[in-house]
């Protein structure tokens, strides 16, 4: 069924393809036989050995789903059925917004690569909250939040604060997504001064909550060294709980075949593995292991996920790999990792 649906992805623009993906998951979930088969395949093994405590939360396993798949909080429990230990929903903005005006994607199936320009289109925070209220999450939910594209740079902290405040009672943790470069705006958000303005407001608000929920910062693999060190220093001093290491990278021709060097967009998939694993290692070296890392980008096989964990990631997220290999990839990774010697991870 998934291979059949995937044929539509090759012929559709990203917005349409994502709608097909989301719709298929919703429809299939309503068939009892589909749910029964999924549960049998994904839960017939005991993955208790993979349980770990990170950010003060107990994750049933270290394999999650990255932001960009469940943009509007519609599929989180579907991925729980497939064995995911957590999911990052969004990215979510305070107000609904479209992505880029003309979304596009080039799919290089032989290279397990996407070159896309889609932006951060979503139905907004209030729609996400409605969905979370209607269906109680059976999985750890991390909300990736960012600002609306129309918000002036000097007011973006208000957007982050509003999204954070509204969602606080409905999710388990937060990822502050300052790497929103596909919109070609607010590129200064990764500047340490601007980031501090955003994060200070969020952390101050969290300090007044009855329950302190983890707050992470997402960092792109092509971030400059001085910016990375400034963000990591700030994170360790301010009480940020961790880092999501990895994202898509603007296509400059280095990661794709020559014939695609001039395609406008952002590269995701297999080519990101090396850069993102290097980023995980850099973060661990600089922070001496005191700041837990979620590794994401280019995970297509169980061995890829293992490579991230071996590099020092506490958790991993799959994204483009789900598009190429379907949701069964999660269970394949869990099978592989369950054969590793058990390692207690507490952060």
Does the domain at 2-337 match CATH 3.20.20.70? Answer given as: yes
The SS3 call for residue 61 is coil
Ordered alpha helix ranges (H), the chain = 2-9, 14-29, 32-43, 76-81, 125-134, 156-167, 192-207, 225-238, 273-287, 302-310, 320-325, 328-338
What is the value of pTM for the model shown? Answer: 0.86
User: Residue 336 CA to chain centroid, in angstroms?
Assistant: 21
Q: What is the DSSP letter of 342?
A: P
Would you say 139 and 84 are in contact if contact means Cβ atoms under 8 Å apart? yes
Alpha carbons 21 and 29: distance in angstroms, whole number: 12
| Domain range list for the chain | 2-337
Cα 334 to Cα 298: distance, rounded to the nearest angstrom: 17
3-state secondary structure at position 28: helix
What is the Cβ-side half-sphere exposure of residue 131, based on CA atoms within 13 angstroms?
Answer: 18
Residue pLDDT tens, the chain, 347 long: 555 555 555 555 556 666 666 666 666 666 566 666 666 666 556 688 999 999 999 999 999 999 988 999 999 998 998 899 999 998 999 999 986 655 567 767 667 777 766 678 899 999 999 999 999 999 999 999 999 988 888 888 999 999 999 999 999 999 998 765 433 444 455 555 678 889 999 999 999 999 999 999 999 888 888 889 999 999 999 999 999 998 777 767 777 778 777 777 777 777 788 889 999 999 999 999 899 999 998 899 999 999 999 999 999 999 888 888 888 899 999 999 998 654 445 45
Could you give the CA distance from residue 39 to residue 208 in angstroms, rounded to a whole number?
40
């Amino acid at each position: 069924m998934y291979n059949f649906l995937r044929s539509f992805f090759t012929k559709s623009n990203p917005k349409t393809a994502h709608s097909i993906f989301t719709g298929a998951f919703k429809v299939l979930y309503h068939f009892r036989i589909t749910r029964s088969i999924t549960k049998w395949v994904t839960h017939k093994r005991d993955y208790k050995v993979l349980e770990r405590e990170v950010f003060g939360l107990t994750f049933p396993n270290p394999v999650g789903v990255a932001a960009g798949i469940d943009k509007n909080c519609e599929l989180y429990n579907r991925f729980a059925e497939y064995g995911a230990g957590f999911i990052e929903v969004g990215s979510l903005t305070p107000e609904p917004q479209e992505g880029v005006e003309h979304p596009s994607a080039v799919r290089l199936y032989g290279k397990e690569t996407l070159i896309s320009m889609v932006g951060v289109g979503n139905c907004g925070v209030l729609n996400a909250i409605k969905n979370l209220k209607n269906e109680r999450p059976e999985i750890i939910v991390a909300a990736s939040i960012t600002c609306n594209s129309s918000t002036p740079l000097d007011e973006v902290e208000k957007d982050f604060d509003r999204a954070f405040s509204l969602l606080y009672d409905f999710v388990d943790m937060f990822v502050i997504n300052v790497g929103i470069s596909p919109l070609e705006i607010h590129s200064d958000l990764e500047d340490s001064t601007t980031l501090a303005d955003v994060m200070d407001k969020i952390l101050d608000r969290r300090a007044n909550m009855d329950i302190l929920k983890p707050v992470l910062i997402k960092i792109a693999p092509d971030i400059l060294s001085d910016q990375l060190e400034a963000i990591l220093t700030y994170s360790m001093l301010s009480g940020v709980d961790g880092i999501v290491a990895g994202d898509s990278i603007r296509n400059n021709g280095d990661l794709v075949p020559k014939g695609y060097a001039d395609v406008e967009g952002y590269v995701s998939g297999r080519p990101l593995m090396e850069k993102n694993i290097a980023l995980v290692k850099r973060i661990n070296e600089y922070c001496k292991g005191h700041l837990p890392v979620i590794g994401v980008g280019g995970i297509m096989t169980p061995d890829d996920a293992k490579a991230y964990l071996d590099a020092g990631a506490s958790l991993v997220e799959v994204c483009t790999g789900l598009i190429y290999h379907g949701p069964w990839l999660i269970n394949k990774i869990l099978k592989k990792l369950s054969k590793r010697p058990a390692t207690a991870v507490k952060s």
